[in-house]
Structure 1
Amino acid sequence: MDSHAPAPVVSRIVSGDVPSGASELNGLDLNDPDFTRFVCNPVSGEVFRLPDIDGTKKTMFRGCQNTGLLTRSAAAHGPADSYAVAMLHADRSGGTFTMRRFLSQTVEWEKLTGLPSPLPIRRPMEIYPYTPRRDLPELHFVELPGGSGWPVASSTDTHVQGMHRRVGVSEGRLCYVEVSQKDPFVLSSFALDDDGVGWTPEHRVALGRLCTVNGRGPKDTPRIAVIDPLDASVIFVIVGEHLLAVDMDMEKVLRCSPADETDSVPYAITSVLKPCVLPPWLASAKIPATGTSSGNKGVDKSKALSDLLVRVDRGKKN
């Protein structure tokens, strides 16, 4: 994201006659910033700049948030041969969805409009990264487990509620986890049935007696961080300033570490922590080569992440 703001340098005396520079940002304009998107290998630092959507960087209000990435490999467990980048946007007025999708084979963004919604869109929706491979995605509605549905909430309530429930993938299945709002803060997990129409209860444990730090239990409702992608019985929760790995099968805390999420409190829907499995070959893997269609005009070649980072002291004068 690229925006502009004046950045005056304010000098102040720290001790004696030794000044120290402190920068301030005033008048930062985030109404419609420029967006540039990249595909990045997080281990090697290699990046590939995606073309601008609709030929513009002004895409904040075009339904171009919550981007998902999906790779595909000819080998079962090898580096990717191709990838897709996609984002899904709900059109509340028409009861349909719009999807933007970039395929590495074509090097172009495509727009699929009028995707029918499986139910009327009557309340705000938070769409997590969504990356379908099919030419025409099929959208399905699966109701949450009994007792998990909440009344229509304000936007603020939606943000707060989002801290205490999570949908994720573990052991190859879609999982749903939630924690009750009052002591003993019961943590419950469910797995989507094979037919994709309902949920099977998997685990249920009271966090109030398990998640004690320095001899004290949770004061506020624990926040759900992530579901372990390899073990559906392990849920990471944030209690105060600590991250705890809870094994729901064994009903015990496996480990505890500091968790500094002050920048995401109190209205972050998802934790800044993300579940991932890094394969051993990722460090040497290259981002799949893109196609040769005319859509790649103006697209940068792959380069190292360090080539794109801009130092604040590089001598900009305005």
Structure 2
Amino acid sequence: MRIVEPPRFSSITVPALQVDTSAGPDPDSDVAQLLVGRVCSASADGLLLIVIYDLRATAPILAKQGANHVRQLTGLVRGHTPDTTRFLYNPLTGQLTRLPAIDVGPWRLVCGPHMGVLTQAGRGHGDGPPDRVAVAELQGNRMLRFLSDTGEWDVAVTTPCQLPGVRRFHSETGRRFDQEAFAFGDRLWWADLSWGARPGPAPGWLDLEGFEALSKDAPAVGRYRRVGVSEGRLRYAEVWSREPFVLSSFTLDDEGSGWTLEHRVVLSRLWADGDHPWLPLPEKTTPQIVALDPLNGNVIYLKVGRHSIGVDMSKEEVIRSFLDRGAGCIPCVLPPWLESSRNSAAGNQCVETRTKSSYLY
């Protein structure tokens, strides 16, 4: 585990012995085992949901060096059903809590990248370890969920979204969501950045009215738009994908009926007179939104070329930058009690004083 200050990305290493794997391929064949993991989401209490896939890749042997082989990965083996392991992870103690395998019809194969984790504590978020944990993924009007109360996965039917006939929610058309699920107001939320945000399992929509129409390059929407929680409020940010790269941020009002523009910054003008390592921008390079700072509503993290940068919109200045090849990340708040806590599925311990902080995974 490596925890660093944003805009750098923290990283996690999971021991291979903790991962469910099937029989490996013949070491002398042109097929290799490939363990691929990702952080899917973070709870408001700082727990991370990690998914690891046991894949098979075509990897022709280029040379043999004793017991070791030099290979070149050329793609994934079609038709291989990967074993999938899911963990709840405490980033400060390093504790991994394995979730049971999913064995609910076809859901075993289709779930993972857009699962969210939700916690509930009797004392309220930030005051102590959670009493209950839920992990869920939404697809159309069905939700696969794991509840710590039962220790099992089940499928719940939710009320279908009431959208105009010309519109369809991304999950209903088989398309992926534009960003990770996130927890807000004791609910899990999934964002369709071309339309709005839907809480689960209760129905309802928050329209992103007044924003530019969905571009033809729909899969790219998530690069330039982001919904998240910062300073306890639901916020939305977008950046123009063309010069002069206008970055805007909005806050949802307390009634949940409308969005208020908080900041608007012209990035090209902001860094025009400075000595920044990402300038001049290579052709077709555009700033992309990486994350909203969960503890500072003025700060947004961007990807510009090979650099990750933090922009304070209230001060209209770049506050930090770092050369990094990473792409996406999950913002995570680490509350004071987390360092001495154990995940709810494994029991709770006492609180230890620590300054609240946030990181990107």
TM range (shorter): 0.7 to 0.9
> For residue 41 of structure 1, what is the amino acid of its counterpart?
N
Number of residue pairs matched? 266
Moved over 4 A (4+): 5-9, 18-21, 55-58, 130-134
**Is the partner of 2:331 in helix, strand or coil?**
coil
For 2:98 and 2:281, how far apart are their aligned partners in 1? 44
Corresponding residue for residue 149 of structure 2: 105
**Is the partner of 2:108 in helix, strand or coil?**
coil
| Unpaired segments ≥5 residues, structure 2 | 1-52, 189-199, 348-361
Select which of 258, 262, 268 maps to 2:323: 258
Offset, 1:56: 7.0
Q: Deviations over 1:35-84 (max 9, x none)?
A: 222222223222222222235797233x5541111122233411222211
Percent same amino acid among aligned pairs?
A: 41
Indicate the structure (1 or 2) with the bigger Cα radius of gyration.
Answer: 1
Corresponding residue for residue 314 of structure 1: none
The answer to whether the 8 Å contact 2:248/2:265 transfers is: yes
Q: TM-score, normalised by structure 1?
A: 0.73
Matches within 5 A, 1:109-258: 109-119=153-163, 120=165, 121-122=167-168, 124-125=170-171, 126-127=176-177, 128-129=180-181, 137-150=201-214, 153=216, 157-211=217-271, 213-214=276-277, 216=279, 218-219=281-282, 220-258=285-323
The answer to whether the 8 Å contact 1:170/1:227 transfers is: yes
Q: TM-score, normalised by structure 2?
A: 0.65
Select which of 115, 123, 133 maps to 1:67: 115
**Is the partner of 2:221 in helix, strand or coil?**
helix
For 2:203 and 2:70, how far apart are their aligned partners in 1? 51
Offset, 1:259: 2.0
> For residue 139 of structure 1, what is the amino acid of its counterpart?
P
| Unpaired segments ≥5 residues, structure 1 | 91-96, 265-270, 292-318
The answer to whether the 8 Å contact 1:83/1:288 transfers is: yes
Offset, 1:30: 5.2
The answer to whether the 8 Å contact 2:143/2:201 transfers is: no
Offset, 1:137: 2.5
Corresponding residue for residue 23 of structure 1: 71
The answer to whether the 8 Å contact 2:278/2:305 transfers is: no
Offset, 1:250: 0.8
For 1:81 and 1:11, how far apart are their aligned partners in 2? 53
Go from structure 1 to structure 2 and tell me whether the alpha carbon gap of 1:232 and 1:23 turns closer, same or farther (over 3 Å shift).
same
The answer to whether the 8 Å contact 1:71/1:81 transfers is: yes
The answer to whether the 8 Å contact 2:248/2:264 transfers is: yes
Go from structure 1 to structure 2 and tell me whether the alpha carbon gap of 1:210 and 1:60 turns closer, same or farther (over 3 Å shift).
farther
